[in-house]
């Protein structure tokens, strides 16, 4: 082989090695650039999430007075229930009586000895959806309770509570000072 061919082969080999080294350097540079972008993105997202979380926890949330958090689709039913029931007495949370009790109360114009003008549709349907969603199921062998003192749910929600007087709608305020405002979460100091 001639010197010219050997030199050309060596020059070609060097060029390929140089190109290969250049390509490897470019690949490493792109890899580290991408890695830097991913790390920066992750840190930025973590920082923003931390800010959002801290802002949420620093803001005092509105007190949830009802026993259950009421989703938006039941809010109007709850408002209508309160509007119609809390004008004469303390409106009690649906959870303290079974669904069947609420159904019977909505259908009957005789309400604990008083003649009431029955709710008509659509308000009745909205109130019923609210009450049926947040009340509880009555057992098959259980009588339908119409008084809090006969409701096993009322008893279950008040375990170990020694009541100083018979349970009546007006007596709720003795332990739940904000019951008139439909807030049953706030308790008197002796029950905290």
Mean per-residue pLDDT of the chain = 78
pLDDT surpasses 50 at 59: no
CA angle 55, 61, 67 (to 5 degrees): 145
Task: Tell me what the mean pLDDT of segment 9-20 comes to.
Answer: 74
Give the pLDDT score at 65.
58
Task: Tell me what the mean pLDDT of segment 134-145 comes to.
Answer: 86
Task: Tell me what the mean pLDDT of segment 116-137 comes to.
Answer: 84
* Predicted model pTM: 0.59
Give the pLDDT score at 192.
55
Give the pLDDT score at 6.
57
Give the pLDDT score at 38.
94
pLDDT surpasses 90 at 40: yes
pLDDT surpasses 80 at 171: no
Mean pLDDT lowest for which of 1-10, 116-125, 127-136? 1-10
pLDDT in tens, 146-165: 888 888 888 888 887 777 77
Task: Tell me what the mean pLDDT of segment 133-145 comes to.
Answer: 86
Taking CA atoms, 47 is separated from 35, 126, 185, in Å, by 18, 44, 35
Task: Tell me what the mean pLDDT of segment 153-179 comes to.
Answer: 78
Give the pLDDT score at 1.
55
Q: Highest mean pLDDT: which of 21-25, 65-69, 131-135?
A: 131-135
What three-state secondary structure class fits 38? helix
Taking CA atoms, 3 is separated from 7, 13, 14, 174, in Å, by 6, 15, 16, 110
What three-state secondary structure class fits 158? coil
With cut-offs at 50, 70 and 90, classify the pLDDT of residue 60. Answer: very low
Considering only CA atoms, which of 89, 131, 135, 88 is closest in space to residue 106? 131
pLDDT surpasses 80 at 14: no
């Amino acid at each position: 082989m001639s010197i010219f061919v050997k030199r050309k082969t060596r020059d070609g080999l060097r060029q390929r090695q140089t190109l290969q080294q250049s390509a490897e350097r470019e690949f490493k540079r792109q890899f580290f650039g991408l890695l830097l972008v991913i790390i920066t993105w992750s840190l930025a997202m973590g920082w923003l999430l931390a800010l959002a979380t801290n802002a949420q926890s620093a803001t005092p949330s509105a007190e949830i007075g009802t026993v259950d958090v009421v989703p938006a689709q039941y809010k109007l039913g709850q408002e209508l229930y309160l509007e119609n029931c809390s004008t004469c007495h303390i409106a009690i949370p649906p959870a303290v009586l079974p669904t069947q009790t609420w159904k019977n109360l909505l259908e009957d114009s005789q309400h604990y000895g008083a003649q009431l003008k029955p709710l008509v549709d659509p308000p009745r349907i909205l109130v019923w959806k609210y009450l049926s969603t947040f009340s509880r199921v009555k057992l098959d062998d259980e009588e339908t309770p119409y008084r809090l003192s006969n409701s096993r749910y009322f008893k279950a929600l008040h375990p170990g509570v020694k009541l100083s007087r018979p349970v009546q709608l007006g007596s709720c305020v003795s332990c739940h000072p904000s019951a008139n405002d439909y807030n049953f979460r706030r308790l008197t100091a002796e029950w905290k």
